[in-house]
Amino acid sequence: MATGRTHRPATRSRGIPEATVARLPLYLRALTALSERSVPTVSSEELAAAAGVNSAKLRKDFSYLGSYGTRGVGYDVEYLVYQISRELGLTQDWPVVIVGIGNLGAALANYGGFASRGFRVAALIDADPAMAGKPVAGIPVQHTDDLEKIIDDNGVSIGVIATPAGAAQQVCDRLVAAGVTSILNFAPTVLSVPDGVDVRKVDLSIELQILAFHEQRKAGEEVTGESGAVVRAPKDSGKGPDGDVPAVMPA
């Protein structure tokens, strides 16, 4: 793989850091709430608090979009809602298909926030013939056989995979071949896609494991006090036959 030249000099506005992009929806949500309360302007401090970030970060983030604030005053809520919406591409309609209408797929189809900002569930697809025609969230489920046609007919570029892990890669391949270039993957598996296709994954199990890591560490600290020796820590509870139990042997 060619490392190649890195990014373009970022002439202007193009080159918003990924971390910033990931926070824009957060700001947008907070701003929308303010808008509904008819609040005309917010300071970076207030908005940052509502979005759960610090104000310096927020101002830096907004600086990548342009100078949309007024010094000494703050940001115009409506204007910022519009600017961020536009930046995120939410001023247009995004038809989405959900593939795999099990418990999770059905829950996603029913999820309200889905339909809100420009995202429209264009179709539900499942491999089970018994599901075909049955409405879920008011939308009839269609069979996987017609996947390509459905994608094409609806001009879908975003697909959601909520199938079992074993089927995910195959579904992914078909979605991509049919023209989908962004995938939200709920299946607990690594998808491989060609360049130019974005995949984001949501994995419940991984999130829980990360929490467990920190939880375990808390339990350790709680008991340990000041000494380094962990007592009653739930870590090595007479585990395997191997003798070297020490948590980690320093190199």
Binding residues for NAD(+): 100-105
200 near its own copies, judged by CB under 8 A: yes
What does 148 bind: its own copies, DNA, none (CB cut-off 5 to 8 Å by kind)?
none
Q: Which does 177 bind (CB under 5 to 8 A by kind): its own copies, DNA, none?
A: none
The β-bridge relationship of strands 139-143 and 135-136 is antiparallel
Does residue number 138 form part of the binding site for its own copies (CB under 8 A)? no
If residue 62 lies in a helix (H) or strand (E), which one and from where to where? Answer: helix 55-65
Binding residues for DNA, rule: CB under 7 A, are 3, 6-7, 17-20, 42-45, 53-57, 59-60, 62-63, 67-75, 251
| Residues in Cβ contact with 125 at an 8 Å cutoff, skipping those fewer than 6 apart | 97, 98, 99, 100, 101, 141, 142, 143, 144, 146, 147, 150
Out of DNA, its own copies, none, which partner does residue 98 contact, by CB within 5 to 8 A per kind? Answer: none
Q: Smallest distance, Å, CB 200 to its own copies?
A: 5
169 in contact with its own copies (CB under 8 A): no
Query: Of 138 and 194, which has the nearer Cβ to its own copies?
Result: 194
Q: Which does 38 bind (CB under 5 to 8 A by kind): DNA, its own copies, none?
A: none
25 or 118: whose CB is closer to DNA?
25
Q: Indicate left, alpha or beta for 74 from its phi (over 0: left) and psi (-120 to 50: alpha).
A: left
SS (H, E, C) 110-132: HCHHHHCCCEEEEEEEECCHHHC
User: Quick one: what does residue 56 bind among its own copies, DNA, none, with the CB cut-off 5 to 8 Å set by partner type?
Assistant: DNA
Distances (CA, A) of 113 to 33, 78, 110, 118: 14, 20, 9, 10
- The verdict on 228 binding its own copies (CB under 8 A) reads yes
Question: What is the closest distance, in whole angstroms, from the C-beta atom of residue 79 to its own copies in the complex?
Answer: 8
216 is a contact residue toward its own copies (CB under 8 A): yes
Cβ closest to DNA, residue 93 vs residue 198: 198
Q: Give CA–CA dist 209/51, Å, rounded.
A: 25
Angle, helix 44-51 to helix 55-65, in steps of 10 degrees: 100
